[in-house]
């Protein structure tokens, strides 16, 4: 993270919030599976939207950090090095820790292919070794596309990017209008995934931030937050009628408005954010990578000890969440932060 983006405390808070949303979503799923208990009445079932929020934030941060490098081929090597260091080393540590638990010993060629694709974050039909790593595959693809904008002259890349995003938007619109019946051609799901529109929304938010000197950042952020929460409150209805197809417009667009408005407001006003929230933002990647396995592990452990029968399912799920979140933060403090400091 550059000094410019590091100063944006709102972005750090949003990173922590996105990771916490995903954790609460998976905690709801785990509680239903192991305890047959609907945690918090299922209110956090919209928490998967944290991934959409992450994608918008990624686009915002990358564009804000590297916008001046577009079209400068000499900057491609440091850009790729930074992106590699940010994603792969910590992910490989988590993957190596989980491989013996969730995968075991490979027995045939298919197992080795799954492992290879998982470690390289290549797209695959099977579940990756680390459950949440499917989203990292989209991240890596986006980083690669932005890398093309850095390496090649922008006057040539701009029309290609416009065409790519238009095709992606048309495929997304086709899915919405056909209730999901329209399917992408084979091997093009990643290239024309609707998630790419959310990365583009993040880039657009960073572009608008410097392009237009608005003074109503707080109002824009409130509108974005309101839309996001309304979509979350109506998740059951939206999912029943649209499946996953509402996420780009419901959560992606609202996240774009929220990030754009909040950063615009922060730039014009001095804000003080509690250090705990900033810590959660710093630790968001560690929390994201480790939380699912930790939730699963603690649920099994507490169930084996018959803890739910003693303290009840609500306290049990609360304990599972607290333990998973705490270990994710500790993983950041004692693994991720020293690792990044050494690699950088």
Residues 6+ apart with CB under 8 A from 327: 290, 294
E strand or H helix at 236: helix 235-242
Q: What confidence score (pLDDT) does residue 182 get?
A: 81
Q: What confidence score (pLDDT) does residue 2 get?
A: 47
Q: What share of the chain is helix, strand, coil (3-state, %, to 5)?
A: 80, 0, 20
Q: What confidence score (pLDDT) does residue 236 get?
A: 87
Q: What confidence score (pLDDT) does residue 186 get?
A: 62
Residues 264 and 249 sit within 8 Å (Cβ to Cβ): no
Q: What confidence score (pLDDT) does residue 99 get?
A: 87
- Name the residue ranges covered by the structural domains of the chain: 3-343
| Alpha carbon distances (Å) from 43 to 52, 90, 229, 254 | 18, 31, 11, 19
d(CA 87, CA 285): 9
Q: What confidence score (pLDDT) does residue 106 get?
A: 67
Q: What confidence score (pLDDT) does residue 1 get?
A: 45
pTM: 0.94
Q: What confidence score (pLDDT) does residue 105 get?
A: 64
Residues of the chain with pLDDT under 50: 1-5
């Amino acid at each position: 993270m550059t000094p410019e983006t590091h100063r944006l405390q709102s972005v750090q808070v949003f990173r922590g919030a996105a990771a916490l949303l995903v954790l609460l979503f998976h905690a709801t799923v785990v509680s239903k599976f192991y305890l047959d208990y609907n945690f918090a009445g299922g209110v956090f079932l919209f928490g998967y939207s944290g991934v959409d929020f992450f994608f918008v934030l990624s686009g915002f941060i990358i564009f804000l950090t590297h916008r001046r490098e577009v079209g400068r081929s000499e900057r491609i090597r440091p850009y790729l090095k930074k992106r590699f260091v940010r994603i792969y080393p910590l992910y490989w540590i988590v993957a190596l820790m989980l491989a013996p638990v969730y995968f075991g010993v490979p027995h045939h060629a298919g197992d080795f292919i799954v492992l290879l694709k998982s470690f390289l974050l290549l797209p695959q039909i099977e579940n990756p070794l680390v459950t949440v790593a499917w989203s990292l595959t989209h991240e890596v693809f986006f980083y690669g596309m932005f890398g093309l904008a850095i390496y090649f002259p922008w006057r040539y890349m701009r029309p290609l990017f416009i065409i790519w995003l238009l095709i992606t938007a048309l495929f997304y619109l086709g899915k919405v209008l056909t209730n999901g019946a329209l399917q992408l051609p084979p091997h093009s799901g990643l290239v024309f995934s609707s998630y790419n529109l959310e990365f583009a929304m993040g880039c657009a938010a960073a572009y608008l931030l410097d392009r237009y000197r608005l003074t109503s950042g707080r109002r824009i952020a409130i509108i974005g937050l309101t839309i996001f929460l309304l979509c979350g409150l109506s998740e059951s209805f939206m999912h029943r009628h649209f499946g996953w197809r509402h996420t780009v417009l419901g959560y992606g667009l609202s996240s774009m408005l929220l990030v754009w408005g909040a950063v615009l407001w922060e730039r014009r006003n001095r804000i003080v954010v509690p250090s705990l929230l900033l810590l959660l933002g710093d630790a968001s990647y560690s929390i994201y990578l480790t939380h699912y396995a930790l939730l699963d592990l603690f649920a099994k452990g507490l169930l084996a000890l018959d803890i739910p029968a003693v303290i009840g399912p609500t306290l049990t799920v609360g304990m599972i969440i607290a333990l998973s979140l705490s270990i994710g933060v500790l993983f950041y403090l004692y693994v991720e932060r020293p690792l990044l400091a050494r690699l950088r």
